Structure 1
Amino acid sequence: MKKIIITTFQRAHNYGAMLQALALQNILEKRGFDVRFLDYKDVNIEAPYRLFPLRGKKGIEALKTVLRSVRYIGPNLIRRHRFFTFQKEKLHLEKKKTDFFADYYITGSDQVWNTDITNGLSDIYTLNFGKKDIKRISYGASIGKGELSVEEQIVFRSKLQYIDSISVREETAKRLLEQIFPNKHISVVLDPTLLLERKEWENLLEGVKTQKNKKYILAYMVEENQEFRKIARDLEEKTGYPIFHFEKKNFGKNVKSCYTTGVLEFVEYIKNAEYVVTTSFHATVFSIIFNKKFWIIPHEITGSRVIDLVNSLELSNRIVNTLDMFLKVNYNEDINYERVERILDIKRQQSLQWLENEVKAKDE
């Protein structure tokens, strides 16, 4: 059995990071590979999820962070435990010291090439390790922003030159890399979570229990955004449905925090929601998979990811940047998911074909 080592954000206590890793592992294992995640401990990725996230903070700011962390120590411990359990039980980690032996190296998906997150391009996420004759590919790597400085372009040119086949998740990333590598073919593929069809996700959710007998609005925010809260509250007023959200504290009446929710439970909450309001790429993905009525407030910095996705599926009308924009749309407007599914199925088959062309389970 051929072996694949993947580098990604397998230690981030982030729902999207965990779910894209699970999906790519699932897809490759079904095709006969031994799949392992290089269990690289990246301080840049892990720091925001520590019990006391003090990195880069001093004095009064550090003291305030400690006091806030102590206040939520109970929920934080529960949440950490659920993420660690998911990592241990669902992801196949290369725990021991490794000689990096594998038939293929893959980096991705997720924002592995977002230098703002990784504090520069890491050798781990650009596959600059191991024997030179091992094939290196990126699957659905994301840069997470719309522009690269001249200095960043130089680093990208140096770090990515030894990757044999490059695929990215967004058209924006493709455009940026084509400027750096004009003679290299750059492909755009789906995020791994979209490679699995709805039925496959439902099988993975078997036995997962959340709120199923109550109508609610699922609100998931990955950055502070007052317009997001205003839109969620306006939708709550119009429908009378409670808001289920994932912040540590509630932001009003008829609101329930699901902060300690586990990874697969997060997906189940989206599956059972009446409406979804989000700033998140992966909450948008699962809203599409489960045919939800959803509204997106794109992330201020990394919003190109979700904008490219909805544009590719002819869903750009689901973007509302402000409450004023939301008030001008029909909040209850149906989505033509038959059309979306047709487009998505074509892109899914193209992405799977790209992957199968690049990694072969058997020698030809």
Structure 2
Amino acid sequence: MKDKNNAVKIGILTLHRSINDGAVLQAYCLQKLLQTRLPQARVELIDYRPWNLEKIEYRKLFTRRFPFVNHYKWSKRSSLQEFINQHCSLSTTSCTTNNLQKVQKFILNQHYDAIVVGSDVVWQIRENRAYLPIPNIFWLTGLPGIKKISFAASADKSEKSLWQQEYIKKQLLDSLKDFHWISVRDEATEQILLNLGLAETQLSYMPDPTILWDFSSLLDTPKNITPSSKGKLAGIAVGSNQMSKTLTQIMVAKGYQVVNLLGSKLNGQLSLPLNYSLNQRLGIYPLLDFMVTDRFHGSIFTLKLSNAPLIFIEESDKYRDYPSKGRDLFQRLGIEAMVLRSEGGEVPDNLIDKYTAIWDDLSPDINKSLSTMRESAEENLKKFASILTP
């Protein structure tokens, strides 16, 4: 349904309410990208949140030990909400529910001409992801009369055994057959969809919107992150505290000061101020001289905003069935040698020297590879825009 100005109305269905810089920035970049490609359209984020996901995010705000509150998570949550309110257009009403029928009704009442699902891990299926059961709204089930598109959707960390269950395959195929265009951002997701029964001609590769959109204007360089007298600052963003401690010890021994970009300060690390905005957290990346992360978007931020050697950690217990989205990205950019597959959380003591040497060989071509990735996406972006053009 056109709005009062006869503009096409497009909704983006994604995971924009996570306490996660990458999740929020990819939503922002996708909205900016769509609005630029379709200037006459009205593009907005569909403000839907699965209730179970909300509970998971809410639990992150508390700790089991005194003072029982995770002040950093509270502050980060507030800063991300502020960013969304300032920089993103949202649906006029919101919906938080696990009930598929309720969210279907909510979305239909917004009168969208088209819905774009993605990017992010909107198609992940895991036993412990109860907030995304099958069927769920991220497959755009039960939304007749609306153009359906996936943009760089991912099923990263999905469990192969679940995808192979016949009743799940049938429900997903029934949903996907109504899509006007399907694009994914990693090979693992492509293989999963092919195994469901889709043809290669039905699928396209699309880089993450944070690669396609220039967000450098958002950066706010922090004033109180000060490297040591040697001028070397290393960033760490890994989920395992034990691995973070080990990496910190290795880096400190090499003369680096270390900042934990996930915010939880451990011994030997610089403190990240509680009141930092998303813009200020992004502003740390150009200051880095080395970076180790298991985060997909943390990798992209480092690649786009700094010249620092970058190691992506791929933990074997999390990627048993398929390669990680990080490995897929590094492979496409020609830097797969910078992926460290960790068994049981182990990292080598010579990590910095070993990977600095590899980086020195690979880094001259990275910017060219990123440019090539953006250029190769242009044809698909034009096709994408043509589908949404009335």
**What TM-score results when the alignment is normalised by the length of structure 1?**
0.85
The equivalent residue for 1:201 is 215
The equivalent residue for 1:139 is 151
Task: Please list the CA deviations of residues 14-73 of structure 1 after superposition, one character each: whole Å capped at 9, or x if unmatched.
Answer: 1110011111111111121321111002123322221x459xxxxxxxxxx664374335
The equivalent residue for 2:51 is 43
User: Aligned in 2, Cα 1:89/1:75: closer, same or farther, shift over 3 Å?
Assistant: same
Residue among 209, 220, 229 paired with 2:237: 220
Task: Please list the CA deviations of residues 317-345 of structure 1 after superposition, one character each: whole Å capped at 9, or x if unmatched.
Answer: 11222322754853433254442222222
Q: Which one is further off, 132-141 or 291-300? A: 291-300
C-alpha root-mean-square deviation of aligned residues, in Å?
Answer: 2.8
Counterpart amino acid of residue 158 in structure 1: D
Counterpart amino acid of residue 296 in structure 1: F
SS in 2 for 1:145: coil
Contact 2:154 2:184 in 1 (8 A): yes
Q: Is 1:169 the equivalent of 2:185? A: yes
SS in 2 for 1:227: helix
Residue 13 of structure 1: how far off its partner (Å): 1.1
Please give the alpha-carbon distance, in whole angstroms, between the structure 1 residues aligned to 2:223 and 2:43.
30
The equivalent residue for 1:15 is 21
Residue 265 of structure 1: how far off its partner (Å): 2.3
Contact 2:9 2:113 in 1 (8 A): yes
Q: Which runs of 4+ in 1 moved over 6 A?
A: none
**Identical counterparts, % of pairs:** 23
The equivalent residue for 1:123 is 136
Please give the alpha-carbon distance, in whole angstroms, between the structure 2 residues aligned to 1:40 and 1:304.
27
SS in 2 for 1:346: helix
SS in 1 for 2:11: strand
Residue 136 of structure 1: how far off its partner (Å): 0.7
The equivalent residue for 1:110 is 120
The equivalent residue for 1:3 is 9
Task: Please list the CA deviations of residues 189-230 of structure 1 after superposition, one character each: whole Å capped at 9, or x if unmatched.
Answer: 10110002xxx322222x453556534111112x22533431
The equivalent residue for 1:234 is 250
User: Aligned in 2, Cα 1:363/1:167: closer, same or farther, shift over 3 Å?
Assistant: closer
Q: Which one is further off, 97-106 or 15-24? A: 97-106
The equivalent residue for 2:365 is 339
Please give the alpha-carbon distance, in whole angstroms, between the structure 2 residues aligned to 1:66 and 1:218.
24
Please give the alpha-carbon distance, in whole angstroms, between the structure 1 residues aligned to 2:304 and 2:222.
19
Please give the alpha-carbon distance, in whole angstroms, between the structure 1 residues aligned to 2:295 and 2:23.
12
The equivalent residue for 1:350 is 376
The equivalent residue for 1:75 is 72
Contact 2:79 2:278 in 1 (8 A): yes
**What TM-score results when the alignment is normalised by the length of structure 2?**
0.79
Residue 292 of structure 1: how far off its partner (Å): 2.3
Q: How many residues align?
A: 346
User: Aligned in 2, Cα 1:316/1:159: closer, same or farther, shift over 3 Å?
Assistant: same
Q: Name structure 1 gaps, 5 residues minimum.
A: 55-64
Q: Is 1:180 the equivalent of 2:196? A: yes
Task: Please list the CA deviations of residues 286-330 of structure 1 after superposition, one character each: whole Å capped at 9, or x if unmatched.
Answer: 111123211121244266110111111111111222322754853
Residue among 314, 318, 324 paired with 1:304: 324
Q: Name structure 2 gaps, 5 residues minimum.
A: 1-6, 94-105
The equivalent residue for 1:153 is 169
Q: Which one is further off, 173-182 or 260-269? A: 260-269
